[in-house]
A and B are shown apart, each in its own frame.
Chain A
Amino acid sequence: MAQLETLRAHESVFPANPRDELLRADRLPHIWCPGCGLGIVVGCFVEAMRASGIPQDRHVVVSGIGCTARIPGYLNLDTYHTTHGRAIAFATGLKVANPELEVSVIAGDGDLFNIGGNHLIHAIRRNVDLNIFCVNNFNYGMTGGQFGATTPPGARTSTTPYGNFEASFNIPYIVAAAGAPYVARWTVLHARQLLQSMLRAFQVQGLAFVEIISPCPPTFGDLNNFNDALAMMQYFQTCSRVDDRADLSKASLSMKPPDPIVVGNFVDVKKLPYHEVERNMIQSALGRSK
């Protein structure tokens, strides 16, 4: 509340945030830690939404559980904060029942690649017309920084005190292999490219997937030689390599400077989305439009 009052005191200088109509300003300040990348994701999302030309009424955002999953709660839209891992399954029901909706899922790596992994690959296989924005911070931030499926091998987390014994998922490689027609990866440092990717995701017919690499300063960052958020942003700046034609099998992340972070728009192909296949086949089978 004190922060809010300070903000209000400066209203003469900053009368209102130009994005207020797209945000639930009455819910601010948000719950995220200093140095977190999620604010940039929110900014990019609302700007992409505004640029999409799709009416605000038709945008729907679904999330599961975790820090990233709190994003929809700050957006002035129809928003659904559901259960851990189930955002994509919930969003699939929404989209299939009403294909007019522009449905986005904003979720963390834990939500999508650990507990929700099965729903993810099946939604990609079905090519449900969803925009999935996966913020990858390499650990479970909200519960205190435990390791997950995206934690690089050897990395320290609150449950890998001797280093991570497990191999990690290479997100764009999996998503492309499952058949997503649009796959991109950016870090939160690449705000402009990220915004353009989100905009592209709204346009793509079918499942569009964007991985967003983000710092988690108090947990993953702190235990893995990034002294603060700035140190990780500097790593993003110095070691990111834009390569739209990258060999995705080699795009896994060690999060150890100077190992590269391969980013880019990796896949962008045409593929009929589920609801259109459903409509076409039923029309042809029943001989009439629904």
Chain B
Amino acid sequence: MKLEDYNPLEDKIYRIMDKQGEILKPEDLPEFNNEQLLYLYRTMLLSRTMDEKQLSYQRQGRMLTYAPNIGQEATQIGSAYALEKKDWLVPAFRELGAWLVHGVPLKNIFLYWYGNEWGSYMPEDVRVLPISVPIASQLQHATGIGLANNINKENNVALTYVGDGGTSEGDFHEALNFAGVFKTPTIFVIQNNQYAISVPRKNQTASKTLAQKAIAYGMPGIQIDGNDIFAVYSATKEAVDRARRGEGPTLIEAITYRLAAHTTSDDPTKYREDAEVEEWKIKDPILRFKKYLEDQGILTQEWDEKVKDEIEKEITSTFEEIEGQSDTEIEDIFKYHYETMPPLLEEQLNEYKNFLREGEV
């Protein structure tokens, strides 16, 4: 594909596979072998099941506030799959699929949402930054990682995510502007899931597309069907290749839909119609990919059931392991603020430990 062929001002959406799983642009279909295709499908199922389980644990009072990704699996998994292990992934907070692809252990993900900082402690070889809650602030880190790559003459890239609402933040514009000026190897993926909590996309900006904002910053921008895993991968791969060649940043607007609530504290029936949700359910990224895999004879019902069973077990046992763990150690609350703990913190820690010797909080 050619990014340049998709002028974001024309509101043209890049798509390889339609909602029935039919291939519209065979010439752009990524050359995946069956193992890769089934890996992608399995990861989509893992992400979806994880979300469903978390929501159910939350309703049972066993999990805290949770932000589900249901409906956005293709955007997350297809884009992260275009990275190599040495590349950096800079998430916002709704990128479960991308985390899974780039090597974050399931246990970390549970730990984080279970309220434990150790969830953000990545294994040494996993180049994923902790979840970033302040909207759009993480984009600048991806620009900085890219700038450091340029200075260090390293051949890796940084991929970062933001939502449609995040494009209204100043940090979004500053990050893209810096990336353009310094030509950093950064790929910005907007997960346009149509809502920033309750505020629809049309109320965020008067721009026709979000991708067109790329033009102002001197980089290519493209709108893609975020529920088509092939289009997501293909566009991201092209952006990654450009970045690796030293040609600078790219902005990708992936059009998708948040089928679930913003978080478990949100009630989407207050701001959107059921009919709209039903319409997007037909465009579910997993359904169409499954259809494609079945049509190609790659996915069998037997494999599907076996994998679903595996995933169910993996998730249940990981969660039960986390659930059985005790609360945060007191020392851990203090220990990681500075390389060496200042006397002030030591004093507060010791005073509190003395208090605890007298019994419970």
Chain B associates with chain A: no
